[in-house]
Amino acid sequence: MTDAVGSIDMPDAQDEAPDSKKKTRKGGKRAKKGPLKRLALFYRQIVAELRKVVWPTRNQLTSYTTAVIVFVVLMIGLITLIDYGLSHAAKYVFG
């Protein structure tokens, strides 16, 4: 089975780097930066992700909110009816 990059069974050419003379650090890129720089990077990434969000329009938000409120009211009514019926059934059975 192949995809756009290549075969799943065959590694890509760039993954087949020779394991000679390449030392890896224990900390990676995080080891270079201080805690304040990492925190600033974290907040920049949050802002970047929030810019990607597709926010609903006011009309969409109103319709979604109305649908949720109607659903909750219907569920409250249904549970109230079931509770009322079960309480009367228990009174009938147990006196």
- What single letter denotes the amino acid at residue 60? Q
In angstroms, the CA 32 to CA 14 distance is: 25
In angstroms, the CA 82 to CA 93 distance is: 16
Question: Of residues 32 and 77, which shows the higher confidence score?
Answer: 77
pLDDT tens sequence across 23-70? 655 655 555 778 899 999 999 999 999 999 999 999 999 999 999 999
In angstroms, the CA 52 to CA 85 distance is: 49
- For the chain, how big is the Rg over CA atoms in Å? 30
